[in-house]
Amino acid sequence: MPLNLPFIVLQALAHNFIHVSSRFGFFMDVREFHDAITGARSASSHLLPPVILHVLYLWGIHLHVSRHRQSNGALAAYEPALLSHALRSVANAMSGSTSQHIVGGTRPTPAHPTTILHALQAIVLLAHYFIRNTRLLEAHYQIGLAVSISISAGLHRVRDSNSDAANAFWAVVRLNAFRASFEPKTTDVQFTGTGRVTIHTPWPDCQVVKNMEDEDSIVDEFLADNSASQDRGTSAAALLAKASILFQVSANRSLDAQEYESLSFKLAAFSRVVEEFLHPFSPSEQPNQVFVAHMLVQGASIQLSRQHDHKGIRPSDDARRAAESITQRLSSTDLSQFGEPDFILTCVWVSACFVFVDDVRYSKARGMTYETSAMSLKTLIRTMDHFATSSGFMRAQCAEICTIISEMGLDAYWLDSCSNARK
């Protein structure tokens, strides 16, 4: 349909998105974008390029419609058109062309020198958009594109930990960890083994910079639990970056005996890393990034231990301990303070759900008690159902778990916990 929304409407939608943009992979200077959108800076040099504006408009209208489903049917019809404009702008940016037209504008705008970071920012936001709307094939494509751009542009070797380039790299690392949880063999970036990417970009908020000639990356030091890395990357943002790497590496499944043996040794090292993550965390006093980092560490532990589990047997003690740690943290946390759920939490919570599902199934078949696992599973489902209204991906995954539970004949436990997911 023709996109004839007034510019002032698009401006308001983009403005509202900027306030929550960090939850959806926005890594650039928010203040500069806020000033440009609101007109605080009128000089043409501060105009935003179409590749950024179009994806901001898309996110703005998407969030507005998702929060006001009952009264915005007409406005929702514009979302597909905005998505098309956003995708076209990314294609133009990647081909090196510069668009002179911005949707919602009444006159041509001066050309803006679209940079790699602008294009990468748009791609990261599109990946988050597709994840949220359960369009995983398109999300995986955008993630692969983001990974390729970040590595080819050398973002894994920048020097300033607080630069947009460094922030962009770690935003892409998080997306790659998400994809690894679904397709561990197809991720473009590996942090261990032959062909690994040597990362010299500092951890977020870390002022210690590695020598570019050093063959060991900051990830090598971290995964090896090297004492030299202990004073590097201790901020909430750095903890989240490290947890994302653990989550990706733990999803790297191997098949031959030598690879399994190597993985068993790494499991011990990962356990030490997990303890390092868990030690400073408090369930009642934690920023959102640390909360997500805690969840990712437990999810990594589940993925690692489940590689040794076989169908039909009880989940390992390590897997159950990690899943129980997740539910204990959820039980003691006020989830309303986090607003929108972090995109990767769905993967973690689903993995924990399957630990408890398998434990209940195993115990039920043998006439053993399964009340503890049943109640832990209910905590997870209630949490996912709480966020199901705002995330299509969360809603779809929660509905799938609820269907499995129903097929197990256990509706009496969770019938009231899937109300949003089953809508």
- Residues 247-275: pLDDT tens digits? 988 887 653 455 555 555 555 555 565 46
Q: What is the mean pLDDT of the chain?
A: 79
Average of pLDDT values for 125-144? 95
- Residues 350-368: pLDDT tens digits? 999 999 999 999 998 888 9
Please give the pLDDT value at position 9. 82
DSSP labels for 217-255?
Answer: -HHHHHHTT-GGGTTS--SHHHHHHHHHHHHHHHT----
d(CA 32, CA 45): 12
Please give the pLDDT value at position 423. 61
Please give the pLDDT value at position 228. 44
Cβ contact 376:324 at 8 Å: yes
Average of pLDDT values for 130-141? 95
State residue 254 phi and psi, 5-degree precision: -125, 160
- CA nearest 144: which of 115, 167, 168, 175? 175
Please give the pLDDT value at position 213. 59
d(CA 95, CA 86): 14
Average of pLDDT values for 378-396? 91
**For the whole prediction, is pTM greater than 0.75?**
yes
Encode 245-265: b = buried (16+ Cβ within 10 Å), e = exposed.
bbbbbbbbeeeeeeeeeebee
Cβ contact 188:176 at 8 Å: yes
Average of pLDDT values for 234-251? 86
Structure tokens at 305: 């231990």
Please give the pLDDT value at position 100. 39
